[in-house]
Chains A and B, each alone.
Chain A
Amino acid sequence: KAGVTQTPRYLIKTRGQQVTLSCSPISGHRSVSWYQQTPGQGLQFLFEYFSETQRNKGNFPGRFSGRQFSNSRSEMNVSTLELGDSALYLCASSLRISGSSNEQFFGPGTRLTVL
């Protein structure tokens, strides 16, 4: 079974621009979560989508948004980029069924650098 894929792997943007990141989950997984990872803050939860609906949201500003398509693929958008948005953005898919153990399966990440 193919793993979680993320595109692009690397991205360089300048302040004020916007960016869209893409994630394809493991086949059969309907939940997609996004995380931001930085050396200072560790792995922080952005939001989770399940059945095309945002089910959970972390403590990030409205500049961070996402969506999920009917095939479970997900995109994350960051508008008006700031220097502090430079990070590794990780997508994770999971089964999200009652009684499941919350296991997250991560993609390789998108390394975003904001100049």
Chain B
Amino acid sequence: TQLLEQSPQFLSIQEGENLTVYCNSSSVFSSLQWYRQEPGEGPVLLVTVVTGGEVKKLKRLTFQFGDARKDSSLHITAAQPGDTGLYLCAGAEGGSYIPTFGRGTSLIVHP
């Protein structure tokens, strides 16, 4: 059973377009992270959200944590080729130190 469901699985868009990727679960998370991974490299932490309803912005990226802390979204405005990569969400339940990762959304931004 996949604890964290990410959608869409694949996304291919043109430079300048906006996009949103989703991370959903039936579990409540104490915190949730978003990572970006480029081919052949390890995931790089983008943001952590901990409070229900929280919104964080990182340049053109906007992250939102659901009110019930069961889901999250990542919105990218005016995507650029440098945004290409695998976007992973990860959440840990309760007092667990080990997060569970979603399968990821593979994003390709064409120039």
Which A positions have Cβ atoms within 8 angstroms of B? 4, 31, 33, 35, 42-43, 45, 48, 55-56, 88, 90, 92, 94, 96, 100-109, 111
Beta-carbon contacts under 8 Å, B82-103 to A? 88, 90, 92, 96-103
Q: What residues on A are CB-neighbors of B101 within 8 Å?
A: 35, 42-43, 45
Please determine whether A102 and B96 come into contact, CB atoms closer than 8 angstroms: yes
Q: Mark B20-52, 1 if CB is under 8 A from A, else 0.
A: 000000000011010100001111110010100
Chain B residues proximal to chain A, CB less than 8 Å: 30-31, 33, 35, 40-45, 48, 50, 88, 90, 92, 96-104
- Please determine whether A94 and B97 come into contact, CB atoms closer than 8 angstroms: yes
Q: Identify B45's interface contact among A31, A104, A107, A109, CB under 8 A.
A: A104
Cβ-closest 6 pairs across A and B? A106-B42, A101-B31, A42-B103, A102-B92, A43-B101, A101-B48
Is the contact region of chain A dominated by helix, strand, or loop, or is it mixed? strand
Given A42-B103, A42-B104, A43-B88; A103-B97 close (CB under 8 Å): no
- List residues of chain B with CB within 8 A of the CB of A107: 42
Q: Is the CB of A55 within 8 A of B41?
A: no
